[in-house]
Amino acid sequence: MFPYPSGEGLHVGHIKAYIATDVYARHKKMNGFNVLHPMGWDSFGLPAENYAIKNKINPKVSTAKNVATFKKQLSNIGFNYDWSREINTTDPEYYKWTQWIFLQLFKKGLAYESYEPIIWCPSCKTGLALEDLEDGKCERCGSDIEKRPMRQWVLAITKYADRLLEDLSLLDWPASIKESQKNWIGRSEGSEIDFKVKKLDLTIKVFTTRVDTIFGATYLVVAPEHPIFAAGNLIFSNAEEINKYIIASKKISDIDRTAEGKDKTGVELLGVKAINPFNNEEIPIFVADYVLGHYGTGAVMAVPAHDTRDWEFAKKYNLPIRESVKGGDISVEAFTEDGILVDSGDFTGLVSSEARKKMTEWLKKNKVGRKTVNYKLQDWVFSRQRYWGEPIPLIHCDKCGVVPVPEKDLPVKLPEVKSYEPTGTGESPLAGIPNWVNVKCPKCGGKGKRETNTMPQWAGSSWYYLRYIDPKNKKMFVDPKKEKYWMGKNGVDMYVGGTEHATRHLVYVRFWHKVLFDLKLVSTKEPFYRLANQGLVMGEDKRKMSKRWGNVVNPDNVVADFGADTLRVYEMFMGPFEQAISWSTSGMMGSRRFLEKVWRLMESIDPKLKNKELESLLHKTIKKVGEDIENFRFNTAISTMMIFANEVERLGTVSKSQYLEFLKLLAPFAPHITEEIWHELGHKKSVHVEKWSKYNKSKVKEKSFILVVQVNGKVRDQFEAPCGLKENEVLDLTLKRENVTNYINGNSVKRVIWVPDKLINIVI
């Protein structure tokens, strides 16, 4: 995953993933693969614009400066990037194709204009997507958010929800990331039920996965955003109280509104009642902020006996709690499991699963409901009311409506401006530049105005991996032949980055890729076949590295003090790649001493010697290091090489061929020292173009093993035995051991289960 070039530069936590991919790429190259290992910059977005405003500098200038800093830092560490493929999302030659892809989405009907309330950050003065929040606050500035109606562009990602779920099965990704995506998309099958509102020509639609509990519904709850309030609240006798509640709810984030354990609040809509279609019972209607307007239908039937949130609400407001599924004590807590229906009319006595089927059929037959599927995933808010983003390539014409900018006129470049301050009115600074805004309509030639909202930072990162394949192409975003060659059967072979992108970047990029696949512009269903997540590198104080805590470690300082190879080896050795771990400057010394030892081993070379004692260990080391790199177990690969180096030091001698084979194993981790030693030993070519060492299977075989002996499945003995024994030979050895004969106690052996070179189970 390419970095966002912030003003602070990279710290040692950022580069953990880059070292890993560098080791992996070098290893693959030595194994004969054609390797594409690129780098670029994800440099649009709010942070760069906020920095520009604060320091009164053009974001273009500050971004270029930050990129130069990052590039210098990466170069110091010795990464084998193909810099000829470098990309930058803020380069007009790059975002020309981001705009082009947006136009394909627009033409396919997947980009639409919306005027619904959006999440608004009053500090950043821009609209946000739900994914841009952290703990219910703006991810960028930490401010409380609010809901505000605003004109915006939205991408219909929900049309791809099922495919985004189904195709997770095609991916070699960590189970936790797949689960995060499933939860974020949040597919649930259930029933949509029509509740008539008494005295009004109005129906409230309710989504539920538990229609089997409907005879226990004692009230209805609508979200503060529900359309029932669109015409004003004059129909309610307590309209003023309701309005105050709705206004207050806009200042609370969705996460806080639905947080577990949060005190439930609400106001009854006095003067109206909802009618349960199953029994025609009239029940009260409440507005409550624990129901969200954008999830399901924005209304729920409240069954306090069988839903924890409803139970808490009913207890607080002294509402009836009526059992409709037998089980538990509903006076103490809600019973939320399936069970047998009680007091449920004709459906009494059915088990919940069967009742759900029959009750949904009844809804359809009586035209008061239907089977439906619901998603937590919402369409993607794709507008930002800021300057530093890709201009959306659309023109508004009074006569023709919204017209796409002709592809020949792309890119629509950002104009040079003096002020980047957001207007705060919902328009970006671009709206105040008449020379840029006012254009001819491409369709009728009349007066038109450019779209002034810009794209979010996520736009450029939703397809960048494809541009690496063909970065200089001026005619298309990627050449089809090159795309097919590099993407292969499954997509990018290995993608590495943080878990924080599980439900944003990785959802968005999969969506864009699927659209491109449907348009026959890419050859694979998914963008990234294999995914690895690096664990967080925390400060020595065990807190996340941050300027705020003063615990940031700059890799430039580490390289200056210990060397780039020591930094690389230490970051890969400090613990399992996917686990979080704290930085330890003192811990660097172990990696430094290891590399110094490798250097000194040159003095132990005996050109005439073929050290037989080392041969088996060397081949085991070759096998283990190769397998560990492939599986991102870098820490155990390094510990294996340390064991070999220690053994050479103990013996005091090593053959030249053995030492050279060992250097090739270390080369991906420590490219500088291994290259230097390689040339010291008389080689003209680089160690990094050498073929990876191959191990001899016969030399990695153990001569003996610890045999585990079971009697009737229980371990009763274990002892060292020679490898390669046959079943009858092992049985003879085992039956002579006192521990075993005591447990057999004269019984006859019925059968023997033999796992070669591991275990024998004697069944008596």
For the residues of 186-242, what is the DSSP string, one character each?
--EEEEEEEEEETTSS-EEEEEES-GGGGGG--EEEE-TT-GGGTT-STTSTTHHHH
- Report CA dihedral (603, 609, 613, 614) to the nearest 10 degrees: 50
Which of 448, 447, 413, 414 minimizes the C-alpha distance to 429? 414
Q: Is the pLDDT of residue 105 over 80?
A: yes
Q: State in Å, rounded, how far the first CA of the chain is from the last one.
A: 58
Structure confidence at residue 151 (pLDDT): 87
Instruction: Out of 3.40.30.10, 3.40.50.1980, 3.40.50.1820, 3.90.740.10, select the CATH number for domain 188-374.
Output: 3.90.740.10
Is the peptide bond between 415 and the residue preceding it cis, with omega within 30 degrees of 0? no
Start-end of CATH 3.90.740.10 domains in the chain:
188-374
**Which residues share a beta bridge with 134?**
137
Instruction: Tell me the pLDDT band of 45, cut-offs 50, 70 and 90.
Output: confident
Q: Is the pLDDT of residue 273 over 60?
A: yes
* From 158-172, 174-188, 320-334, 718-732, the region with the lowest mean pLDDT: 718-732
Output the CA–CA distances (angstroms, integers) from residue 496 to 15, 532, 614, 639, in the order listed: 11, 5, 36, 23
**Which residues share a beta bridge with 721?**
705
pLDDT tens, residue by residue, 684-700:
999 999 999 999 887 87
For the domain covering 91-156+379-459, report its CATH number.
Answer: 3.40.50.620
d(CA 301, CA 289): 14
Instruction: Tell me the pLDDT band of 133, cut-offs 50, 70 and 90.
Output: confident
Start-end of CATH 3.40.50.620 domains in the chain:
91-156+379-459
Instruction: Tell me the pLDDT band of 47, cut-offs 50, 70 and 90.
Output: confident
**Which residues share a beta bridge with 137?**
134, 144
Q: Is the pLDDT of residue 525 over 90?
A: yes
Structure confidence at residue 699 (pLDDT): 81
Helix (H) or strand (E) holding 581: strand 581-582
Structure confidence at residue 233 (pLDDT): 55
Start-end of CATH 3.10.20.590 domains in the chain:
702-763
Interhelix angle for 612-630 vs 634-651, to 10°?
170
* From 131-140, 380-389, 521-530, 618-627, the region with the lowest mean pLDDT: 131-140
pLDDT tens, residue by residue, 355-398:
999 999 999 999 999 999 999 898 999 998 889 999 999 999 99
Per DSSP bridges, beta strands 146-149 and 133-134 are unpaired
Structure confidence at residue 366 (pLDDT): 97
Query: In the predicted model, what is the mean pLDDT of residues 485-502?
Result: 94
Tokens of 712: 């009737």
d(CA 373, CA 208): 10
Query: In the predicted model, what is the mean pLDDT of residues 595-624?
Result: 91
Is it true that domain 702-763 has CATH number 3.10.20.590? yes
- Are 496 and 534 within 8 A, CB to CB? yes
Task: Read off the DSSP letter of residue 141.
Answer: T
Instruction: Tell me the pLDDT band of 506, cut-offs 50, 70 and 90.
Output: very high
Tokens of 594: 């290891």
pLDDT tens, residue by residue, 201-217:
889 999 999 999 999 99
Calculate the average pLDDT of the chain.
Answer: 92
3-state secondary structure of 154: strand
What count of Cα atoms within 13 Å lies in the side-chain half-sphere of residue 419?
Answer: 8
Token look-up 């009913």 returns 314
